[in-house]
């Protein structure tokens, strides 16, 4: 690649690195001067950058941090007259270091910001100079002070600024347990700094807690004017380009920033409102799943934020049983008005309203009615008002006490019982009736998430008083199982909370074990407990969950044996036993991971399920449940044969490998036949579509394995298309996102067998990006972690095949790194 192309790659990357994935794609699609080779290089750089973004606070990290030695800055022990002490942080443009400048009679501690080698493009240097210009014009006790600037020996620009040793403002408030008034007082000092900048015709454009440090003595310091703007008097500035749009932090961006419209001081006022909201509630006003910027932007533009006083998880109010005053609601929501004209006219005006609230005076954010003013008067003059009221209240109290005590004694028991039944009925309605009514609707995951939150609150409350009521314990256990499924059921629509799902399954297990211990003859409790054991063990395969999963499944098999001995075996018993044989095969291999997977043992367990599943289907062939069960058994056995074939192939036994691949195709064809019946019976349901996805995937794998590449490719493409369609119907569904990754992996495998290595690399990298995103959102998802390691291993092999040894070495090293993480998660 020539120098000009590489220079262009760096410029484009630096311009779009902080955009959302969708915005990056749109930008690259419209970039006529970026060819396919350059685009591939840019997308790889973005992929490595995404790997570092563990949460929304990491938006400023750069892909160059871990990309290649070419893009690293080898910082010497000293830069100019500054001796480097340590690296403080690393961002999109460069690194920040703690440094010391010493002279004959002084020693000065500074923060030194240096552009990284590889980022010294014209656009980046211009932005760097721009930030330096802004800082040099601001001299305020609550703004980090600019000292001087210069060039390193190898011509990289740098500047020195006041070193601020402190904590981010939200962490400072939380760590010192500041009350509401103390937080408001601190926040007003931040307002003073922003107002000073505005008076100097500078808007910050990226106000957030991470850009506000508070020193040990309680002095806030405003940082990072990297995307600030110098205005002409009275002017506004249009965001204009995708690059400028992406430099903001979406959680704190104003609606006009999101829209790319003109912005001015009202944009900073809005961001300050968001910061105050977070300081007083412990929450951000808007959230989006999986870091989805589009969802977040849509919420900012179209949705009214929850009133701060109504945020249940308020770190300030809830911990002290004190709700936020309504005036605070008005102040924050006025600052966060969707339209700039509806906000405060200046930061000073908003700060003044906070001062008035602290003094007990009426605030301008609220209409000054007589009722409101009167309430404020009473609160400011409590002593006088209370003295007059006490005389009246003492007379009234004596009359009411006697009547109240009599009524309370009579009603207490009835009210308590009624309340219990109300909560019980409400919990059941939320868990089963309402949830099941929406479960298969496209886009229902967000609503299901809210139902989970509400239902668990009711269930936990009921569970505290259930120890003497075995019927209630069973009822609660069913509800917890349902909640676990919504939170993280394997291969079904869920909200991506595997840790919460395991906790719900465990609560069900605990309740049912207690019920069975109390009444060993309770068959219904044993049946539900078997389901609970099975659900916990199955999800345990995806997580770093402790405990012996095989032992849990064996407990379930023992219970099923007790049930079978107590009565003639029915269809439900058969169906449960089939699932337990499937699960035993799954976890038996899982337990042997350290010594190497014994696929023969897994196949033996699954073959035990086969005659039972076939007999159940023959006797009740019209049952959708039995059709699904048989499809799963055929699929598991077919996949076991693929594993055995690959094992034989690795050992050089090509005859056995060919035989096993043929057996795999035989069983996968049978499974696909069952899956087509499932899909045809209800083609619009997400569950049917997921079965069809799996059918396409297994057919692609088996056909590819026996050399029928074109047929395999057709099934792989259909699998990817369908998985994307299902995910697009409900982007909050984490299992849907995982299915898309699996589909890219299947397609990559077909291309690899066809010797189309570059296409295989492209699809493997897409799968890798998705799985990393899934793992970042849910660190308990061990399956995603294993897949990440597998992707790196595959990429290492593929890059070797196209003679790219540098990339091969990189992915080989990453594979070893993730292998170590997998071992840690297992322990």
Q: Provide the pLDDT for residue 746.
A: 96
Kindly state whether residue 477 falls inside one of the protein's structural domains: yes
Token pair of 117 as six digits: 């080698």
pLDDT in tens, 427-436: 555 555 554 5
Q: Provide the pLDDT for residue 35.
A: 79
Token pair of 377 as six digits: 């008067």
Q: How confident is the model at residue 363 (pLDDT cuts 50, 70, 90)?
A: confident
Give CA–CA dist 478/231, Å, rounded. Answer: 62
Mean pLDDT across 765-788: 88
Side-chain-side CA neighbours of residue 82 (13 Å): 30
Token pair of 430 as six digits: 């939320």
Token pair of 736 as six digits: 């849907």
Whether 317 and 392 share a structural domain: no
Kindly state whether residue 587 falls inside one of the protein's structural domains: no
Q: Provide the pLDDT for residue 429.
A: 55
Side-chain-side CA neighbours of residue 611 (13 Å): 3
Q: Provide the pLDDT for residue 119.
A: 64
Which element (helix H / strand E) includes 255? helix 255-259
Kindly state whether residue 660 falls inside one of the protein's structural domains: yes
The pLDDT of residue 425 is above 70:
no
The pLDDT of residue 358 is above 80:
yes
Q: Average pLDDT over the chain, rounded to whole?
A: 78
Most confident of 282-291, 682-691, 752-761: 752-761
Give CA–CA dist 277/521, Å, rounded. Answer: 55
Residue 123's nearest CA partner among 220, 238, 18 is: 18
**Cα 47 from chain centre:** 17
Whether 305 and 452 share a structural domain: no
**DSSP 8-state code for residue 168:** E
The pLDDT of residue 37 is above 70:
yes
pLDDT in tens, 563-584: 888 777 778 888 889 999 998 8
The Cα diameter of the chain in Å comes to: 101
Domain boundary among 346, 378, 410: 378
The pLDDT of residue 98 is above 80:
yes
Which element (helix H / strand E) includes 167? strand 166-168
- Conformation bin of residue 491: beta by default, left when phi > 0, alpha when psi is -120 to 50: left
The pLDDT of residue 733 is above 90:
no
Q: How confident is the model at residue 205 (pLDDT cuts 50, 70, 90)?
A: confident
Mean pLDDT across 465-473: 74
Kindly state whether residue 584 falls inside one of the protein's structural domains: no
Mean pLDDT across 145-154: 81
Q: Which of 287-296, 367-376, 731-740 has the lowest mean pLDDT?
A: 367-376
What number of other Cβ atoms are within 10 A of residue 437's Cβ?
10
Q: Provide the pLDDT for residue 215.
A: 93
Cβ-contact 376, 366 below 8 angstroms: no
Residue 614 CB partners (closer than 8 Å, separation 6+): 630
Q: Kindly report the CATH number assigned to the domain that includes residue 812.
A: 1.25.40.10
Burial letters 226-248, b for 16+ CB under 10 A, else e: bbbbebeeeebbebeebbbbbbb
The pLDDT of residue 416 is above 80:
no
- What's the count of helices (H) and strands (E) in the chain, helices before strands? 31, 13
Whether 264 and 318 share a structural domain: yes
Q: Provide the pLDDT for residue 92.
A: 56
Whether 190 and 235 share a structural domain: yes
Helix locations, 491-623, DSSP H: 498-518, 523-540, 549-566, 571-591, 599-619
Kindly state whether residue 59 falls inside one of the protein's structural domains: no
Token pair of 203 as six digits: 């808007």
Kindly state whether residue 638 falls inside one of the protein's structural domains: yes
Number of compact structural domains in the chain: 6
Q: Provide the pLDDT for residue 81.
A: 84
Residue 306 CB partners (closer than 8 Å, separation 6+): 285
Residue 552 CB partners (closer than 8 Å, separation 6+): 533, 536, 537, 540, 587
pLDDT in tens, 60-94: 333 333 333 333 445 568 888 889 998 887 665 67
User: Could you write out the DSSP letters of every residue in 687-733?
Assistant: HHHHHHHHHHHHHHHHHHHTT-HHHHHHHHHHHHHHHHHHHHH-TT-
Whether 333 and 387 share a structural domain: no
Q: Provide the pLDDT for residue 646.
A: 87
Q: Pairing state of beta strands 82-90 and 229-230?
A: unpaired
The pLDDT of residue 201 is above 60:
yes
Q: How confident is the model at residue 693 (pLDDT cuts 50, 70, 90)?
A: very high
Most confident of 84-98, 671-685, 788-802: 788-802
Domain boundary among 162, 186, 210: 162
Residue 678's nearest CA partner among 629, 747, 637, 641 is: 629
Q: Provide the pLDDT for residue 295.
A: 79
Q: Provide the pLDDT for residue 361.
A: 82
Whether 698 and 755 share a structural domain: yes
SS3 state at 205: coil
Name the residue range of residue 231's domain: 166-378
Give CA–CA dist 179/328, Å, rounded. Answer: 14
Burial of 791 (0-12, 13-18, 19+ CB in 10 A): buried
Burial of 303 (0-12, 13-18, 19+ CB in 10 A): exposed
Kindly state whether residue 563 falls inside one of the protein's structural domains: yes
Residue 180 CB partners (closer than 8 Å, separation 6+): 280, 316, 317, 322, 324, 328
Give CA–CA dist 322/320, Å, rounded. Answer: 5
Give CA–CA dist 212/192, Å, rounded. Answer: 13
Q: What percent of the chain has pLDDT over 90?
A: 32
Domain boundary among 633, 664, 681: 681
Whether 405 and 370 share a structural domain: no
Most confident of 65-69, 120-124, 502-506, 599-603: 502-506
Cβ-contact 301, 339 below 8 angstroms: no
Whether 509 and 627 share a structural domain: no
Q: How confident is the model at residue 749 (pLDDT cuts 50, 70, 90)?
A: very high
Whether 281 and 320 share a structural domain: yes
Q: Which of 8-12, 117-121, 301-305, 538-542 has the lowest mean pLDDT?
A: 117-121
Whether 546 and 408 share a structural domain: yes
Q: Provide the pLDDT for residue 546.
A: 38
Whether 751 and 737 share a structural domain: yes
Q: Provide the pLDDT for residue 493.
A: 63
Whether 77 and 138 share a structural domain: yes
Kindly state whether residue 106 falls inside one of the protein's structural domains: yes
The pLDDT of residue 234 is above 60:
no
Q: Kindly report the CATH number assigned to the domain that includes residue 266.
A: 1.10.510.10
The pLDDT of residue 752 is above 70:
yes
Measured CA angle at 532 (ends 528, 534), to 5 deg: 115
Q: Provide the pLDDT for residue 609.
A: 92
What is the C-alpha radius of gyration for the chain, rounded to an integer number of angstroms?
32
Q: Which of 473-477, 662-666, 711-715 has the lowest mean pLDDT?
A: 473-477
Measured CA angle at 803 (ends 799, 809), to 5 deg: 50
The pLDDT of residue 272 is above 80:
yes
Q: Provide the pLDDT for residue 138.
A: 78
Instruction: Report the DSSP beta bridge partners of residue 96.
Output: 89, 113
- Conformation bin of residue 260: beta by default, left when phi > 0, alpha when psi is -120 to 50: left
Token pair of 643 as six digits: 């594993």
The pLDDT of residue 663 is above 90:
yes
What number of other Cβ atoms are within 10 A of residue 600's Cβ?
11
Q: Which of 151-155, 439-443, 449-453, 805-809 has the lowest mean pLDDT?
A: 439-443
Q: Provide the pLDDT for residue 710.
A: 95
Token pair of 312 as six digits: 């249940």
């Amino acid at each position: 690649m020539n120098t000009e192309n590489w220079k262009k790659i760096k410029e484009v990357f630096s311009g779009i690195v902080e955009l959302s994935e969708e915005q990056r794609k749109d930008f690259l699609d419209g970039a006529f001067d970026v060819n396919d080779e350059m685009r591939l290089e840019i997308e790889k750089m973005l992929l490595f950058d995404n790997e570092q973004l563990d949460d929304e606070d990491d938006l400023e990290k750069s892909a160059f941090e871990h990309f290649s030695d070419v893009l690293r800055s080898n910082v010497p022990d000293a830069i100019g007259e500054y001796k480097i002490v340590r690296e403080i942080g690393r961002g999109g443009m460069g690194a920040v270091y703690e440094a010391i400048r010493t002279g004959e009679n002084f020693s000065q501690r500074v923060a030194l910001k240096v552009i990284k080698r590889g980022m010294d493009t014209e656009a980046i240097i211009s932005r760097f100079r721009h930030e330096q210009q802004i800082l040099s014009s601001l001299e305020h006790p609550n703004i980090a002070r600019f000292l001087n600037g210069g060039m390193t020996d190898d011509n990289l620009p740098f500047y020195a600024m006041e070193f601020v040793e402190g904590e981010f403002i939200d962490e400072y408030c939380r760590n010192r347990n500041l009350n509401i008034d103390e937080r408001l007082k601190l926040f007003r000092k931040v307002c003073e700094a922003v107002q000073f900048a505005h008076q100097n015709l500078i808007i910050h454009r990226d106000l957030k807690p991470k850009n506000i440090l508070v020193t040990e003595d309680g002095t806030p310091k405003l940082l990072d004017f990297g995307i600030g703007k110098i205005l002409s008097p009275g002017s506004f500035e249009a965001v204009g380009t995708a690059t400028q749009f992406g430099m903001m932090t979406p959680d704190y961006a104003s609606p006009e920033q999101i829209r790319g419209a003109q912005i001015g001081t009202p944009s900073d006022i809005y961001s300050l409102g968001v910061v105050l909201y977070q300081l007083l509630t412990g929450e951000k006003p808007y959230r989006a799943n999986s870091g989805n910027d589009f969802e977040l932007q849509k919420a900012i533009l179209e949705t009214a934020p929850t009133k701060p006083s109504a945020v249940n998880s308020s770190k300030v109010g809830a911990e002290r049983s004190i709700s936020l005053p309504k005036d605070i609601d008005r102040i924050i929501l006025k600052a966060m008005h969707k339209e700039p004209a509806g906000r405060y006219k200046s930061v000073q005006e908003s700060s003044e309203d906070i001062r008035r609230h602290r003094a007990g005076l009426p605030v301008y954010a609220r209409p000054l009615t007589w009722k409101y003013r009167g309430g404020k008067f009473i609160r400011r003059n409590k002593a006088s008002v209370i003295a007059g009221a006490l005389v009246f209240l003492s007379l009234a109290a004596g009359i009411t006490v006697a009547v109240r005590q009599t009524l309370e004694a009579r009603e207490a028991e009835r009210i308590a019982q009624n309340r219990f039944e109300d909560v019980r009925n409400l919990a059941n309605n939320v868990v089963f009736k309402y949830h099941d009514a929406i479960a298969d609707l496209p886009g229902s995951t967000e609503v299901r998430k809210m139902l989970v939150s509400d239902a668990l609150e009711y269930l936990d409350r009921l569970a505290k008083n259930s120890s003497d009521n075995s019927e209630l314990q069973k009822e609660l256990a069913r509800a917890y199982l349902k909640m676990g499924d919504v939170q993280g059921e394997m291969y079904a629509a869920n909200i991506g909370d595997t840790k919460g799902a395991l906790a719900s399954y465990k609560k069900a297990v605990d309740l049912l074990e207690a019920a069975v211990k109390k009444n060993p003859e309770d068959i219904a409790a044993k049946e539900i407990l078997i389901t609970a054991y099975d659900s916990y063990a199955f999800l345990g395969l995806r997580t770093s969950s402790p405990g012996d999963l095989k032992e849990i499944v064996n407990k379930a098999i023992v219970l099923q044996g007790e049930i079978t001995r107590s009565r003639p075996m029915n269809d439900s018993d058969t169906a449960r036993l089939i699932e337990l044989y499937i699960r035993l095969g799954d976890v038996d291999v899982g337990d042997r991971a350290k010594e190497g997977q014994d696929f023969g043992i897994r196949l033996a367990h699954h073959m035990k399920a086969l005659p039972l599943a076939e007999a159940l289907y023959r006797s009740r062939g019209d049952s959708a449940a039995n059709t699904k069960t048989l499809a799963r058994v055929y699929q598991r056995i077919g996949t076991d044969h693929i594993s055995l074939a690959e094992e034989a192939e690795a050992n050089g036994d090509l005859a056995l490998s060919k035989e096993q691949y043929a057996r795999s195709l035989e069983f996968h064809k049978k499974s696909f036949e069952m899956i087509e019946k499932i899909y045809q019976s209800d083609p619009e349901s997400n569950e049917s579509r997921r079965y069809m996805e799996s059918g396409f995937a297994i057919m692609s794998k088996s056909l590819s394995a026996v050399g029928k590449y074109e047929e395999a490719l057709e099934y792989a493409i259909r699998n990817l298309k369908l998985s994307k369609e299902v995910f697009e119907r409900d982007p909050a569904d984490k299992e849907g996102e995982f299915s898309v990754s699996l589909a890219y992996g299947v397609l990559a495998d077909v291309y690899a067998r066809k010797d189309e290595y570059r296409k295989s690399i492209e699809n493997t990298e897409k799968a890798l990006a998705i799985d990393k995103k899934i793992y970042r959102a849910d660190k308990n998802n061990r399956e995603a972690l294993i897949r990440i390691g597998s992707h790196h291993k595959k990429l290492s092999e593929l890059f070797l095949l196209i003679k790219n040894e540098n990339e091969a070495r990189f992915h080989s090293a990453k594979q070893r790194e993730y292998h170590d993480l997998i071992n840690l998660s297992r322990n």
